[in-house]
Amino acid sequence: MKIFNDLLFKFEKPDWSSNPEFCVIDTILESRPDIILMLQSDIIGKEKTSNFGRKDVPSIEQIVRAAIFKEMRGLDYRELEYAQSDSRICESFIKLDGRKPYSFQMFQKYISRIRQESLHRVLVEINKIAISEGLEDVKSVTQDSTVVKTNIHYPTNNSLIWDCVKTSTNLLAQLKQEIDTLDFINYTKSAKKTFFYINITRKEKNRIPLFHKQLILFTKVINQTSNAIKKKSTSIIADSIQKELSRLLVLMRQVNDVAYRKEINGENVPCEEKIFSIYEQHTDIIVKGQREILFGHKINLAAGKSNLVLDCQILRGNPSDTSLFQPTLDNVIGNYNNIPRDSTTDGGYASLINLEYARKSGIANIVFNKAVGSMQNIVSSLNMETRLKKWRSAAEAIISNIKRGFNISTCNWKGWVHFQAKVIWSVLAYNFRVITGLILAKLKSDSQIG
């Protein structure tokens, strides 16, 4: 009960009492410095730390605390820089100790290095603290999945061609400043005009000649991009631009191939061969039941009776919910060394194989909201089945709280690695908020009893 004793002293201070979430997090981090060390290797990388000289670089602890403050308050990096001088609680929480606030570039450099795997270990460790304090018992587990969208426009063959044309032209213009002998034609005006006409043309037969025209122009852009890559230069900047053009060229050829097969030949191109964004290439197409098509990644969450998220998996492709049940259950059992007594999910996870797997794992009450075929839920009583079915809807509330409360419906962080990190950061922030609510309720209860 050490955390409760420490909290009682901190809540007496005005700053912390009006910011209970940061009070709880500060107490946890001070009592468990090993949690910060879990992220040290990601932040430092191959750089060497020194205890000498001016403190122009934030410490590992300051970086972690700044990242947590940023997520809890929903700030961007510039707002985080401003908050250091504007907010007393931010200054105290990050432990500036009267130093000049660190720049947003400094924090972005180091926070962006923290990877999803390390954050997931922190998530598990924080949950273990909640378990040790009696806030969670891992006796009941529910699972549900959702989709976090990537920050892209709705992908069409027409829009992807236009993205390729304007991006390659911008890069070629930059390259020409470094290589005087480079010549290229700017096709963006003509491409944008055709892009507009394709968009407003509804009949498919009228779109085909427009796509023919656009693809001919696109082929010219591809050829001049290929030629520009072969130009020799001693400039480091030119070399960097040419490497970026080389990566783009691969995508341009893929977009050209898919567009021709679909729009000209009328072929149904498999999703595996498509690209949905040249900027966020990791984007998957997700279809859940009869609902709208989404572009992003599927997230599978496991939560306990306290509403704490016990496990979070960020997935590639569009795997079925039935395939996610067993790995998530294994993660919960393995991470917390505890076999849940109850497991409840919606009908998407239901299968005889999953039912038997849960039974063999030692789970006593196994409930799928909609049993399939001849499958029957395994429960100790009808009342238990009814209670678990009602509780299952809590998973939807948890997902809503994470996505709305921490603005993660669409992930604004770029790249697959950063996408994963952002999702786990949001789950961590949500768990801190839940733990704070549970602790405050317990402190209030204890004070009333006293």
| 293 shares its domain with 371 | yes
Closest CA to 348 of 150, 149, 142: 142
| 364 shares its domain with 381 | yes
* Number of structural domains in the chain: 3
Judge whether 309 lies within some domain: yes
Question: Could you list the residue range(s) of the whole structural domain that residue 23 is in?
Answer: 2-114
Rounded to whole angstroms, how far apart are CA atoms 173 and 175?
Answer: 5
CATH number for 336 = 3.30.420.10
| 215 shares its domain with 300 | no
| 244 shares its domain with 338 | no
Judge whether 445 lies within some domain: no
Q: How many C-beta atoms surround the C-beta of residue 169 within 10 A?
A: 19
pLDDT in tens, 199-224: 999 888 899 999 999 999 999 999 99
pLDDT attached to residue 375: 81
Q: How many C-beta atoms surround the C-beta of residue 244 within 10 A?
A: 16
Judge whether 437 lies within some domain: no
Which pair of tokens denotes residue 28? Answer: 């946890």
pLDDT attached to residue 372: 67
| 294 shares its domain with 265 | no
| 261 shares its domain with 317 | no
Q: Say if strands 410-411 and 284-286 run parallel, antiparallel, or are unpaired.
A: unpaired
| 256 shares its domain with 293 | no
| 302 shares its domain with 209 | no
| 146 shares its domain with 287 | yes
pTM: 0.90
Q: How far is CA 94 from CA 64, 78, 98, 107, 116, in A?
A: 8, 16, 11, 12, 22
Contact 389, 344 (CB under 8 A): yes
Judge whether 119 lies within some domain: no
pLDDT attached to residue 442: 82
| 191 shares its domain with 310 | no
Judge whether 431 lies within some domain: no
| 186 shares its domain with 261 | yes
Judge whether 174 lies within some domain: yes
pLDDT attached to residue 394: 85
Rounded to whole angstroms, how far apart are CA atoms 353 and 166?
Answer: 50
pLDDT means per 10 residues, the chain with 450 residues, are 60 65 90 92 72 68 94 93 89 86 92 95 95 92 94 94 96 92 92 95 91 95 94 88 95 95 92 92 84 90 94 93 94 94 91 92 90 80 90 89 92 94 96 92 69
pLDDT attached to residue 167: 96
Judge whether 235 lies within some domain: yes
Rounded to whole angstroms, how far apart are CA atoms 55 and 98?
Answer: 12
Q: How many C-beta atoms surround the C-beta of residue 109 within 10 A?
A: 14
| 353 shares its domain with 398 | yes
Judge whether 290 lies within some domain: yes
